[in-house]
Structure 1
Amino acid sequence: MTSKAIILIGGPSKGTRFRPLSLDIPKLLFPVAGKPMIYHHIEACSKVPSMKEILLIGFFKEEQLKDFIQQTSKQLNVPIRYINEEKVLGTAGGLYHFRDIILSSDNPESIFVLHSDVCCSFPLEELQQFHQKYKRHCTIMGTQVAKEYANQYGCLVRDENTAELLHFAEKPETFVSSLINCGVYCFSPSFFDVMGKTMVDLRASNVNINSDYPEITRNRNLETLRLEQDIFVPLAGTGTISVFPYQGFWRQIKNAGSSVYCQELYLNHYAKTKPEILKKGDNIIGNVIIDPSAEVDPTAIIGPDVYIGPNVKVGKGVRIIHSIVLDSTIIKDHACVIYSILGWSSEVGLWTRVEGIPNYTPFLYSQEKRKGITIFGSGAQANGEIIVRNCIVMPHKQLDRSYSNEIIL
């Protein structure tokens, strides 16, 4: 058996909710638990024994991803190729448009499709085995969430005896099911034929195809289609799709702040699967990753759930909790950083407190505006002896007084 994987990465215009961090780096390369967000997907794909190639489909400029692809391909010993959409095709449109490239060479029997903005353990071998067992054209990985949050996602109704997808509703207004779509799929090659027929039927039915993104033209072009709303919805109940029940952790990384919560999930996972990458020491609490090039004073207390990147300098008596500290940042003596992201080459002054207000509810968009991760864009600086609480600070902004609940331009 041979397998391929497709990771749908979108493009720059879909990173607006990730600002100000996506001003410096494509969202998919932002570090979560010490690795670029999409690295976790690729690593999981590389562990599938039958994996022959990983394809990234999106509309970033190729040079933005070239170095990462080369380094990761070499490190994980798996071929990785980027396919650049010259125009926005939609998730289904892109897959169908490039079907010949996907199916060429190796004749893959299983094709994994993953959205780049999800965080989970990616049990791809289990998903593949489940897909082979039920022998349908497509298998969706689904997970249970609390009933009150389910309508924020694509809701699945599954036949518990046959595992068939009976109904699919994308962000329904009323409760449909607490089983939601994880954004991880396994296809058989035959699913491309099913997609093609569904696209033709959709155009013939004169259905108006709407879009969540303004850059996608609202027309009935066969290529500009979304996988979930325009393909899965009409195919539900036709015997075409199975649902694989996933029991592990899962969350979407829709905005910059959510990367802190996803980091916590990955670090908990690493504590069980590869504890050797976690830092140990008398000044370390819980799960922490510290780059070897970082300088952390032994009197600083770090953790739980912290990543400290390359060339960071952490002074005496500093306290860091539930945070991401990016390359070349300086945190001066006795500062405190809690539930925050400090962008590249930023600075926190003496005795300064930078604090976010955690919001662990799994909403795509926070319903509580007073709660959020504090984010410093690259080069932002906070002077000594101030408090910055629940704020987003634009790049290279210098703060000379305390702020609370503001976007600081």
Structure 2
Amino acid sequence: MLKAVILIGGPQKGTRFRPLSLDTPKPLFPIAGFPLIQHHIEACVKLEECKEILIIGSYTTNTMAQFVNDMQKEYHVIIRYLQEFTPLGTGGGLYHFRDQVRAGNPSAFFLLNGDVCADFPLKELWHFHAEKANALVTIMGTEATRQQSVHYGCMVREGSTKSVTHYVEKPNSYVSTLINCGVYVCSLQVFHTMADSFQKKQDGFYSGNGQTSPHPGYMSFEQDVLMQLAGTNKLYAMQIGPNVSVGAGVTIKAGVRIKESIVLNNATIHEHALVMYSVVGQEASVGEWSRVEGTPSDPDPNKPFAKMDNTPLFNTDGRLNPSITILGAGVVVPAETILLNSIVLPHKHLTRSFKHEIIL
């Protein structure tokens, strides 16, 4: 059994959302026609193992009651709102309600920041986490530019194990372009680490030893938990994106890198494969250590109102122009194979590498 926890903060937050958030709480603001955190709930209920969703924040119970009732009727899963007695931060509320999270002894729980809007690949994140025997927390990460990265939690990841060796929350200078997406899967043992951090925060608060926390129970999950776990082989990161669309029933195994690509329903990407600038068709399979790569078609930034060039499939010499790689439905790419700028028609079982070709 799995659970999910959605952190939504409270009315004192969301100042950048004003004046829109003055009338509608930020987590209930409509995004793509649905309240923001309904997207989180919808992603969670797609996992059959997820039996309960806990929403934690400092909004009043009356503010959230109607929404919670509507969600339970629509999705037929246990959904509860837990109100903090005072704003406790991204870690304090979770630790305060730890008994509710641990009730029923779930295998693990997802932790989702309520201000994130994404195509949450929770199934892939859970499989990645389950393969790491020592993992307490697995972070969903993505690439940002150097300029953007300093506004987020930045992490350095060990290449082969994917263990996070260094984590800094909103650094003053460049650390890494791999940033924290605010989506995690946590083992229950993480509460032992949180207990140690909580005790240190309490000791510092009451001794006045440089602590600036507004309340002795206030705790930051990013600074008080993730930073403590970095470099201990208990914190891992699964990297997605940027700009990745993953269809229903897709299996993405450990060590996979996917960037600027679309992976359609029921496809399988095996261990340590790379997929970039490509479309992987339904029920296709990319073997371990294989590389499926196309060439991006970027607009010319020097042209006003730049837009994508509609390049023909073939050049004047009859050769295939570099473009994205496309695997048709049911295509099987064997292990340790390279496909570059190629198009593969459906249901082909490849036996070697190809470059700049159409495989009929």
- TM-score normalised to structure 1 length: 0.57
Q: Among 112, 115, 120, which residue is 1:114 paired with?
A: 112
* Mapped partners of 1:208, 1:166: distance in 2: 27
| Deviation, structure 1 residue 225 | 0.7
How far did residue 137 of structure 1 move? 0.8
What does residue 314 of structure 2 align with?
Answer: none
Instruction: Give the aligned partner of residue 146 of structure 1.
Output: 145
Partner of 2:87: 88
Which amino acid in the other structure matches residue 181 of structure 2?
C
Distance 1:201 1:30 in 2: 36
SS of corresponding position for 1:102: helix
- For residues 237 and 112 of structure 2, what CA distance do their matches in structure 1 show? 15
1:35 and 2:34 are equivalent in the alignment = yes
Residues 193, 225 of structure 2: 8 Å contact kept: no
Give the corresponding residue for 1:98.
Answer: 97
Task: String of CA shifts for 1:161-187, please: whole Å, max 9, x gaps.
Answer: 111111111111111000000000000
Partner letter of residue 109 of structure 1? S
| Cα pair distance change 1:20/1:204, threshold 3 Å | closer
Aligned AA (1:117): D
Q: How does 1:153-302 map to 2 (within 5 A)?
A: 153-201=152-200, 208-210=210-212, 217=214, 221=216, 223-249=217-243
2:299 aligned partner: none
Structure 1's unaligned 5+ residue stretches are 211-215, 251-268, 274-409
Please state whether the residue corresponding to 1:128 is helix, strand or coil.
helix
Letter of the 1:14 partner, please give it.
K
Q: Which amino acid aligns with 1:179?
A: L
Gaps of 5+ in 2: 245-260, 266-360
Measure the CA separation in 2 of the matches of 1:159 and 1:197.
26
Compared with structure 1, are the counterparts of its residues 248 and 184 closer, same or farther at alpha carbon in structure 2 (3 Å cutoff)?
same
**Offset at 1:16?**
2.2
Q: Call closer, same or farther: CA 1:86–1:30 in 2, change over 3 Å.
A: same
In 2 relative to 1, CA 182–123 (structure 1 residues): closer, same or farther, beyond 3 Å?
same
The Cα offsets for residues 178-237 of structure 1, whole Å up to 9 and x where unpaired, read as 000000000011111121123334556786444xxxxx61x6x2x211100122112211
How many angstroms does 1:76 deviate by?
A: 1.6
Deviation digits for residues 222-273 of structure 1, max 9, x if unmatched?
x2111001221122111221111122549xxxxxxxxxxxxxxxxxx9xx89
SS at match of 2:12: helix
Residue identity opposite 2:234 in structure 1: T
Secondary structure of 2:196 counterpart: helix
Q: CA RMSD in A?
A: 2.2
2:125 pairs with 1:131: no
1:20 Cα deviation from its structure 2 partner: 1.2
d(CA) in 2 for partners of 1:32 and 1:189? 32
1:67 and 1:27, CA in 2 relative to 1: closer, same or farther beyond 3 A?
A: same
Distance (whole Å) between structure 2 residues aligned to residue 33 and residue 131 of structure 1: 30
5 Å matches for 1:297-308? none
SS of the counterpart of 2:53?
Answer: strand
Q: Secondary structure at the match of 1:196?
A: helix
SS of 2:16 mapped into structure 1: helix
Once residues 201 and 235 of structure 1 are traced to their aligned partners in structure 2, the CA distance between those partners, rounded to angstroms, is 15
Deviations 1:73-129 (A, max 9, x none): 211222110000011211111111111111112x11010000000111110010000
Partner of 2:8: helix, strand, or coil? strand
Residues of 1 paired with 2:199 and 2:243: CA distance? 37
Deviations 1:28-64 (A, max 9, x none): 1111100011110010011111011000000111111
**Structure 2 residue identity aligned to 1:234:** Q
Q: For 2:101, give the aligned amino acid.
A: I
* Corresponding residue number in structure 2 for 1:56: 55
Describe the SS at the equivalent of 2:173: coil
Aligned to 1:318: none
**Equivalent residue letter for 2:221:** L
User: Contact 2:58–2:84 at 8 Å: present in 1 too?
Assistant: yes
Contact 2:2/2:49 (<8 A) preserved: yes
Kindly report which structure 2 residues correspond to 1:335-354, keeping only aligned pairs within 5 A, or say none: none
Where 1:198 maps in the other structure, the secondary structure is helix
Q: 2: distance between equivalents of 1:23 and 1:169?
A: 32
Q: Tell me the amino acid that sits aligned with residue 7 of structure 2.
A: L
The equivalent of 1:344 in structure 2 is none
Letter in 2 for 1:127: L
Contact 1:199–1:231, Cα closer than 8 Å, also in 2: no
Q: Percent identity?
A: 44
Distance apart, 1:148 and its partner CA: 1.8
Shift of 1:68: 1.1
- Whichever residue aligns with residue 74 of structure 1, its letter is K
C-alpha separation between the residues in 1 aligned to 2:148 and 2:17? 22
In structure 2, relative to structure 1, the CA distance for the partners of 1:238 and 1:4 (3 Å cut) is same
